Copies of this chain bind each other. A is one copy, B any other.
Amino acid sequence: MNPTIRDVSKLSGVSTATVSRTFFYPERVKKATREKVLEAARVLNYSPNAIARAMALQRTDKIAFLICKAHSSILDEFYAGICEGIMKESNAYDYQLLISTEEDWIAATNSAKRKQIEGVILGGNAKAERVLEFQNQNIHVVMVNNRIAGMNLPYVLSDERDGTRQAVQHLVERGHQKIAMIAGRFSPYICSERYNAFLDAMNEHGLKVESRYIRMSDPNIESAVEVATALLRQKDPPTAIFGANDVIAVGAIKAALRLGLRIPRDVAIVGYDDSSICCTTEPELTSVHIDRMRMGQICVQKLQALMRGEEIPEQVTVLPTWLNVRGSS
């Protein structure tokens, strides 16, 4: 039904090899021949069959982005951002991109091998076991926004420690001493990075971290509102709250507003991720910005290098973060 290389070969009166070369190494065929071939292809509305090509070349140019994340919306703003970067860069390299949740991936009857994936970007909370599973199938792995201790992989991370440091410093500069943190129960790697960085930053400024100023919240607004309310209701409450992410920080804003507190006068609030919800609140939320798009792009670049067999220059890439100061602090 669809025209094949042989049809073009016949119509243009050259061999299939020449037709193939016309498309893939045009400089190796004489101009006159090339034009004859292209004309024939145009007439027949021919274009090379990617499958046959993949078969002959033994490569698929197919990569996957696997989001390892249990609860809540999978393509939340954070991962959507990374995803966009991955999409953009995949298109640039003409890779085919498959996106899936870890859950769905496992459930699918086809194994990775059957899907002929040559590389995979693991996002979120992937476990070592999963990484090994891919590596055993000779599938290259890049990890984004997560790190597994003792596992030597190409990582793409953002500078959680510095971002947190900036947030704390900003609050200190605004005169705050009683700074609380609402830590989160989402990605363990991210949560512990931010939590530890917070402790360190407070330390650097010679500030005591009182345990009653440290709370944990689920990564949803209701939970954060609840936790923040309790935090703010105690006597001698904190004058500033650092939320482990924007959702939690927005919860804190809502809690403060409901308690009749003025932001940032009575309590200053800072979030993390700089997502779009920062501009929905009144006042708007100060937050640490992460270049998600860029993270995604770098993932694909690393994968490409791996697939080409190149040495990866930096195994772990840490992107800079910066604080976007808004009305809440």
Contacts and interface: CB of A to CB of B under 8 A. Distances in A.
Contacts of A60: 51
A83 B75 CA distance: 8
Interface residues of A, number: 52
A54 interface: yes
A115 B100 contact: no
Given A55-B52, A98-B98, A111-B47, A282 B281 contact: yes
A77 B74 contact: no
Given A55-B55, A257-B282, A80 B75 contact: yes
A96 interface: yes
Contacts of A253: 282
A221 interface: yes
A94 B75 contact: no
A254 interface: yes
Interface stretch (A10-18, A272-280, A318-326): A272-280
A50 B279 CA distance: 47
Interface of A: 2, 47-52, 54-55, 60, 73-77, 80-81, 83-84, 87-88, 91, 94, 96-101, 104-105, 107-111, 113-116, 221, 250, 253-254, 257-258, 276-277, 279-282
Nearest to A89: B104
19 contacts: A47-B114, A48-B114, A50-B114, A50-B115, A55-B55, A73-B81, A74-B87, A75-B80, A77-B80, A87-B99, A87-B100, A87-B104, A88-B104, A94-B108, A94-B109, A96-B115, A277-B280, A280-B281, A281-B281
Contact of A54 (B48, B51, B105, B279): B51
B80 A94 contact: no
A151 to B, nearest CB: 23
A84 B91 contact: no
B84 A110 contact: no
A76 B79 CA distance: 11
Contacts of A87: 74, 99-101, 104
Contact of A276 (B47, B96, B277): B277
A80 B82 CA distance: 13
Nearest to A91: B104
B80 A108 contact: no
